[in-house]
Structure 1
Amino acid sequence: MAHTPHISRRELLRGAALVPVAGALAACATPSAPPAATSSAAPAATSAANPFGVDAKKPLEVWIFDGGFGQQYATDIHQPLFKSKYAGIEIKHNSTKEITKVLQPRFAGGNPPEVIDNSGANKMDFGALAQDGQLADLGPLLDAPSWDDPAVKVRDTIDPSVIEIGTYDGKFSVVGYVNYIHGIWYSQKVFKDNGWEIPKTWDEFLALCETIKKSGKMAPFTYAGKHPQYAYEPLLTMAAKIGGKEVLTNLDNLEDGAWKQEAIKTAAENMAEIGSKYLLQGTAGLDHVQTQTAQNKYQVAMLPCGSWLENEQKSTTPEGFDYAMFPIPDITGSDAMPYGTLHTQPGEEFMVSAKSAHPQAGMEYLRAMLSKKAAGEFSTLVKTVTVVKGASEGLTISSGVTSASAAVAAAGANTVYYRAFAWYGPLNDEAKAATGELMTGGLTPDAYLERMQKKADEIKSDSSIKKYKR
């Protein structure tokens, strides 16, 4: 998504927080005395049809991150569905690529909007928002009847990982709507036309890079140089594949020496080798759209990204390009996790502001979004898979979605994820900066590990930053 959807990106990879420390949001983004609950925020009468007590006369304000998925899904799918039930509610729709810059003043003023798609390179720090009481408790949403079937609770219609990933300090507070599936993306046409095979081992991957480089037809590899989270994603996925899921759990839990684990060192060495030998010229100065467009122009063969890629590039992808993705190859011959291991987790994260004027309507908006109708139409429009179970069954969406979905099915339980960068904005900022230097030769792998460990230790020892644990 910079995109980071983007981690638009989604930036799940795209998620970089501008708030320097968790406590900073408290200092600059909330009033000195939080406004007391008023009658305006009190719910209307609740019922089976209106489980949260939505006031049918009060407006609802929605902010969408305008990244890889755009905003048409909100205006053309989600909002009309909501209005079909609450015709009298005025929906104030807004979009921006600069979530923090635009909305932080609203939190500071005590009048945040109800629903926020908090995504992109400039999304707000979820850890800080949670620490400062800005995230509405969405537990009631999980236990509410689903939009489609009153006999089925919302919690039973979504992937369980949504609840795990969206829980902060024991409260379910964030709904990841899209199943982000990460891998190395390529054109099936290019590989078929050139007789290039999908590499299953790291040696095969390096050999493929050599073959592509020597062909003179295109560069082997690129990533969004201006958004280095696109490079730290494969690095950390590789580390988990080599050493097991606990490699990432240790990072998330700020364990002593976690960044100096041997698996991370090996992964850093491998990514540094790609950076020194096989990158598209000028990669460091390009953003995600520029590198992805270079691939559409057949100037580069492979890049790491998530499953929002296809939709993000729909205006520049040539006919017959046929996007597909493959997982990180086997690295050592004795990796802890098998071939096919993937980084996948809920992304495109939505929140309801606890201190907004009509949080009940915000929760109801999310309930509508999590219907099969809304999720299925979303999948078709933006060529990606949501977290709603079965919503895309029977839909023929695209080659990229087909490839990513098949990869997830093949991975089974061999999936990995990390949460440290969502919990600790400053660590995310450091990881992006340091990974960018690693890829351009400004940091050796050892120096990279040293720098990341130092920042993790700083955060661990800072008592003003709330700590989270997996």
Structure 2
Amino acid sequence: MTEIFAKTEVDRRTLLRRAAAVGMLATPAVGLLSACVGGGEDEPTTQSTGTKSADNPLGIDTKAGVEIVIFNGGLGTAYATDVDTPLFNKKWADAKITYSATEQISTVIQPRINAGSPPDMINNSGSNLMDFGAIVKAGQAADLTDLFAAPSWDVAGKTVAETLVPGAVQQGTYDGKPFAMNYSYTVFGLWYNKKLFEKNSWTIPTTWADFTALLDKIKAAGITPFGYAGANASYYMVRALLTSAAKIGTEQSLKDIDNLKPGAWTADPIKQAAQAWGEVGNKYINKTFLGLKHTEVQLQQDQDKVAFYPCGSWLENEQAKDTPAGFEYAVAAFPSVTAADKLPATAINAAAGEIYFAAAKGKNPQGGKEYLRAMLSKEAALGFTKLTKSLTVVAGASDGQTISPGLTSANDMLTKAGQDVFVGYLFDTWYKKLDDESRGAVNDLMFKGGDAQKFCDRMEAASQAVAKDSSITKFTRS
């Protein structure tokens, strides 16, 4: 996988009307997280600090170096090297940035955190990301209250928080304090080649009957109608199934799952969604995809061998080097499963994500925060969008800009969704055992002819096992 949450472009005026859907407070109910995150050595006796002023609101040492580590995934790293760092050094020329990138954040960074020598700013992302809740509870993440209260880097008269879409600060809040900056904004849906669909006069469906009828047409044309990679991207399918469930029964269905409510996984919305998608797996998926990785299936889509692919809006950028001329990414909302769905066909799942944080016990935590302040400027946000084809949480940063086809499509989908944008679920980052089980269960459902009841019963048993395990910290959402 490339990313947890990340990547898309939307018109900021549209986003501002919807961003309340992003805001979500995750609060630990009891105890510490089970991940192994130590308190490290004693805090360094001399952390770099300077004098606060109007020009230096975070009080950084203007000559102290700042070490940053960026996850090298679907977003790439050019935004850090070509946009953020030059912007930072334009203002603070004597503050040398020490930069590195990795695809294995936990493997590389966790030992440094445990040893008390972390980088100053870390992009915690990817399939190997660290348990951020455990990092917060261990006192390893710096409180970002002063960052969000500081003046914006380039928007006069506003604090950093006031330049962000509603909910952006809350998304990284734990126990009432902000510890993470969730920078990018992802739209999830069914991705397809607009040119291929236009060539064949295929209309994007809004009902399940129209969806399966279209899948029949696509299959008759010799193209795999629907696919995802079972080897390392089965969570794409988990999200697709649970998005459908939320449209059937509202987001409350997903909140019940996150809160480990008994019967949440066997409730009608989940079972109906599993039934519908299980039939798609039985009839329209290439069973060999079970052993493929995400980029392998995505490459087949770029070659017009796969029609629909469930994914987040980082897809267009991730596939940029393999996308041929004449292929135009577009995204559609998952169609209504039943005629009685409580949310309309246009409803979608979209959320802020891609965690960046300053290390509390780094040599220069205030410098790490200042780097984040630079990232949250309109200039940096626009540069990020241009390089990654991804939206940030900085309001209005890309207004009036020409955007890519896939991001334009994502914007159109958000516009059609109106107020019907929901955050989705959080159990995948809260409870690893439950996340792992969901990936195996959905693969069995889609590739091995598993039925909906078996899927629901399996997940219900896994959920209640987590609920009864006192060694696992519990989280709640409302």
The answer to whether the superposition gives a TM-score over 0.5 is: yes
Equivalences for residues 5-404 of structure 1 within 5 A: 5=3, 7=5, 23-25=33-35, 28-31=36-39, 34-41=40-47, 43-216=49-222, 218-226=223-231, 227-404=233-410
* Aligned partners of 1:125 and 1:425 also within 8 Å: no
- Could you tell me how far 1:6 is from its partner in structure 2? 5.9
Letter in 2 for 1:233: R
Which residue is equivalent to 1:459?
A: 466
* Aligned partners of 1:427 and 1:456 also within 8 Å: yes
- Could you tell me how far 1:285 is from its partner in structure 2? 1.2
Q: Secondary structure at the match of 1:229?
A: helix
In structure 2, what is the Cα distance between the partners aligned to 1:455 and 1:22? 21
In structure 1, what is the Cα distance between the partners aligned to 2:445 and 2:287? 16
* Aligned partners of 2:7 and 2:184 also within 8 Å: no
Task: Name whichever of 449-458 and 353-362 sits farther off.
Answer: 449-458
- Could you tell me how far 1:387 is from its partner in structure 2? 1.2
* Residues 306-358 of structure 1: CA deviation (Å, up to 9, x unaligned): 11111111111111211100001111111111121110001222122222221
* Aligned partners of 1:6 and 1:68 also within 8 Å: no
Which residue is equivalent to 2:439?
A: 432
Cα gap change, 1:447/1:355 in structure 2, threshold over 3 Å: closer, same or farther?
farther
* Aligned partners of 2:259 and 2:476 also within 8 Å: yes
Q: Secondary structure at the match of 2:57?
A: coil
What value does the CA root-mean-square deviation take over the aligned residues? 1.9
In structure 1, what is the Cα distance between the partners aligned to 2:103 and 2:289? 22
* Residues 65-93 of structure 1: CA deviation (Å, up to 9, x unaligned): 11111111110001111111111122111
Q: Secondary structure at the match of 1:84?
A: helix
Which residue is equivalent to 1:13?
A: none
Q: Give the length in aligned residue pairs.
A: 453
In structure 1, what is the Cα distance between the partners aligned to 2:149 and 2:465? 39
Task: Name whichever of 162-171 and 111-120 sits farther off.
Answer: 162-171
Cα gap change, 1:94/1:386 in structure 2, threshold over 3 Å: closer, same or farther?
same
Letter in 2 for 1:388: V
In structure 1, what is the Cα distance between the partners aligned to 2:113 and 2:255? 32
Which residue is equivalent to 1:17?
A: none
* Residues 154-203 of structure 1: CA deviation (Å, up to 9, x unaligned): 11111122223211222211211111000100011100111111011011
* Aligned partners of 2:4 and 2:353 also within 8 Å: no
* Aligned partners of 1:142 and 1:154 also within 8 Å: yes
Cα gap change, 1:136/1:465 in structure 2, threshold over 3 Å: closer, same or farther?
farther
Letter in 1 for 2:60: V
- Could you tell me how far 1:368 is from its partner in structure 2? 0.6
* Aligned partners of 2:189 and 2:332 also within 8 Å: yes
* Residues 380-438 of structure 1: CA deviation (Å, up to 9, x unaligned): 11112111111111111111000001111221221112222222333222222322222
- Listed as ranges, the gaps of 5+ residues in structure 1 are 11-20
* Aligned partners of 1:9 and 1:67 also within 8 Å: no
Q: Secondary structure at the match of 1:305?
A: strand
* Aligned partners of 2:48 and 2:60 also within 8 Å: no
Letter in 2 for 1:457: Q
Letter in 1 for 2:37: A
In structure 2, what is the Cα distance between the partners aligned to 1:330 and 1:243? 11
* Aligned partners of 1:134 and 1:355 also within 8 Å: yes
In structure 2, what is the Cα distance between the partners aligned to 1:212 and 1:435? 23
* Aligned partners of 2:6 and 2:313 also within 8 Å: no
In structure 1, what is the Cα distance between the partners aligned to 2:435 and 2:81? 31
Identity %: 42
Equivalences for residues 433-448 of structure 1 within 5 A: 433-441=440-448, 443-448=450-455
In structure 1, what is the Cα distance between the partners aligned to 2:434 and 2:120? 28
Which residue is equivalent to 2:28?
A: none
Higher RCO structure (Cα 8 Å, ≥6 apart): 2
Which residue is equivalent to 1:15?
A: none
* Aligned partners of 2:5 and 2:185 also within 8 Å: no
Letter in 2 for 1:30: G
- Could you tell me how far 1:150 is from its partner in structure 2? 4.4
- Listed as ranges, the gaps of 5+ residues in structure 2 are 9-30
* Aligned partners of 1:420 and 1:427 also within 8 Å: yes
* Aligned partners of 1:380 and 1:395 also within 8 Å: no
Q: Secondary structure at the match of 1:319?
A: coil
* Aligned partners of 1:65 and 1:120 also within 8 Å: yes
In structure 1, what is the Cα distance between the partners aligned to 2:442 and 2:238? 6
Letter in 2 for 1:214: A
* Residues 246-283 of structure 1: CA deviation (Å, up to 9, x unaligned): 11111222222222221011111122212221113411
Q: Secondary structure at the match of 1:68?
A: coil
* Residues 219-247 of structure 1: CA deviation (Å, up to 9, x unaligned): 10111222211101111111100001211
- Could you tell me how far 1:462 is from its partner in structure 2? 3.0
Cα gap change, 1:423/1:88 in structure 2, threshold over 3 Å: closer, same or farther?
same
Letter in 2 for 1:181: V
Cα gap change, 1:458/1:113 in structure 2, threshold over 3 Å: closer, same or farther?
farther
